[in-house]
Amino acid sequence: MNKYRRQFLKFLLLFSFALSFKVYPQVLNGNKVKFKYGVASGDPTNTHVILWTKLMLDIETSIKVEWEISNDRSFKSLIAFGISVTDYKSDYTVKVDAKIPTRFNGKKVYYRFKVGNSISDIGITSTLPKENPEKFNIAFCSCSNYPAGYFNAYGEMAKNEDIDLVLHLGDYLYEYAWDGYASENAIHMDRVVDPNHEILSLDDYRRRHATYRKDIDLKTLHANKPMIVVWDDHEITNDTWKEGAQNHSSDEGSFNKRKDFATQAYFEWMPIRENKNKKQIWRNFTVGNLINLLMLDTRHFNRDKQLDIEKYFEIDSFKEKKYKNDLKKPRNLLGKTQLKWIKSKINTNTKYKWSIFGQQILIGPKYLPTILKFIELENLPSYVHKYVMLAGKKIPYNTDQWDGYPKEREKFFEIIKNSQSNLILAGDSHNSWISNLRDNNDKFIGIEIGAPSISSPNFVDIFGEMTTEIDKSFIESNQDLVWTNGINKGYVELEVSLNFVDVHFHYVSTVKSKSYEKLQTKSFRVNHAQPLA
């Protein structure tokens, strides 16, 4: 079959497909459709990628949207195309699971959307290589709080030509009111969120997504790179678990309804492939035999309620024995269904060189640094005072992290101990971390890499000039912690090669101004199946 016949048949297929829909007017009431929130792509496989956009129009109606993919910016030659229909039920968002021709596997392609004479921005995306590349670069990040500061790190990621794929590990947005957490400078920076109250309804969550997606750096990042996302707690509300959350009270209505609203808005606005059960967000991706990437959910599906460490403090003491005994009790984090899935995806016959786990929270044990005992209490925030009695002791202090689920951590380590070489990525903490991971028998399991925040407050916003010494003491007080940084905000880049991964922590000088500098990168080399020295 010659190429002209193939093109003719493609045209007939598209034409017949279009006829199956009502031909909707492309200029409605004299107003053109707008693509205010840009374009995005995500969840690339070896053959497909999700393409996303959102329409802005003044009336409620169904409308057809053309999508096009080309191997050049001019769109003179299309390699894939089609039509999608959207309406108010999906907030006029458009998601297409586009198949990319095999000959363009792993190569950059361009995409756009059209409604009549209205054309979206041009996006750049790619499928994941089916064959082993010499190297593959993955950036990952978390904790982007709109009123806390500018998304300068997103802009840096968008400009980084070496990055092939971006992982967002959660807290993509925050649920608080306009004057809530980390909003002190929001008015000055013109970064007040909409709606101005804490978000609860479906409309609230949609409007908050819209607030974030108007940010130019985030729009540019989505347009320039395919992204794979998982949620953490703030996409719903702070310290979420499967049946409730710290930041949800009875006067705010049904938690399950709130969770359903948040989930619906998330799937509408994010370039993520949808499962039949939207609450099961875990999934995996492969890059040749080089990378087996598993994206996990440690937050919503099966997490039991966190142990409340506050209940173990007395006036001048801490009930250490009871606390440690209670920590040892079985408590779900991933849950049986997800653990079984992980086991099915972990290859024990050395097929994949690197196993990378994208998930939300710190997994390695973390203990408070000894130095806190020697700092005058008046120089510490009041809520830290009681924790000083734990400083320098082997007592886990953050039960919202894996430290609050040690039995589940051992189950997870047992499953992954035979995989080739494990890199476990984490967000949530707002600080940078890199640690060796060992099980209860002191067997090396892999490397933990924790991302700094994009804009959310980290240690320096709490401890100020003391942060450098606190960082040093953290390392001294935690045997397997190789390095930490609680001062800078930014993202992490993994340069994955066959025998090693170069880990680069990229930082920006400030998030309080659009005038900033890119700071010196901190790098580590992780050799295959070896702990860091």
Q: Delimit the domains of the chain by residue range.
A: 3-127, 202-527
Strand partners, 318: 313
Kindly tell me the burial class for residue 393, based on how many C-beta atoms sit within 10 Å of its own C-beta (0-12, 13-18, 19 or more): middle
The two three-digit tokens of residue 361, written as one number: 């929270």
Are 79 and 69 within 8 A, CB to CB?
yes
What pLDDT sits at residue 85?
A: 97
Max distance between CA atoms of the chain, in angstroms, equals: 84
Q: Which helix (H) or strand (E) holds 256?
A: helix 255-269
Kindly tell me the burial class for residue 521, based on how many C-beta atoms sit within 10 Å of its own C-beta (0-12, 13-18, 19 or more): exposed
Length of the chain: 533
Kindly tell me the burial class for residue 131, based on how many C-beta atoms sit within 10 Å of its own C-beta (0-12, 13-18, 19 or more): exposed
Structure-token match 């999508």, residue found: 67
What pLDDT sits at residue 418?
A: 85
The tens digit of pLDDT for each residue in 205-253 reads 999 999 999 999 999 999 999 999 999 999 999 999 999 999 999 999 9
What pLDDT sits at residue 30?
A: 47
Q: Which residues of the chain have pLDDT under 50?
A: 1, 3-27, 29-30
What is the DSSP annotation of 205-251? HHHHHHHHHT-HHHHHHHHHSEEEE---STTT-TTEETTEETT--GG
What pLDDT sits at residue 419?
A: 87
- Tally of CA atoms within 13 A in the half-sphere of 381 that contains its CB: 8
As a whole number of angstroms, the distance between CA 398 and CA 177 comes to 25
Which residues have CB under 8 Å from 108's CB, separation 6+?
124, 125, 126
Are 362 and 429 within 8 A, CB to CB?
yes
How far are the Cα atoms of 54, 74, 98, 112, 492 from residue 70, in angstroms, in the given order?
Answer: 20, 8, 12, 9, 30
The tens digit of pLDDT for each residue in 86-95 reads 999 999 999 9
Q: Which CATH class is domain 3-127?
A: mainly beta
As a whole number of angstroms, the distance between CA 113 and CA 38 comes to 10
Q: Which of 196, 311, 153, 298 has its CA nearest to residue 240?
A: 298
As a whole number of angstroms, the distance between CA 330 and CA 407 comes to 6
Q: Which of 394, 38, 427, 74 has its CA nearest to residue 221?
A: 38
Fold of 202-527: Purple Acid Phosphatase; chain A, domain 2 (3.60.21)
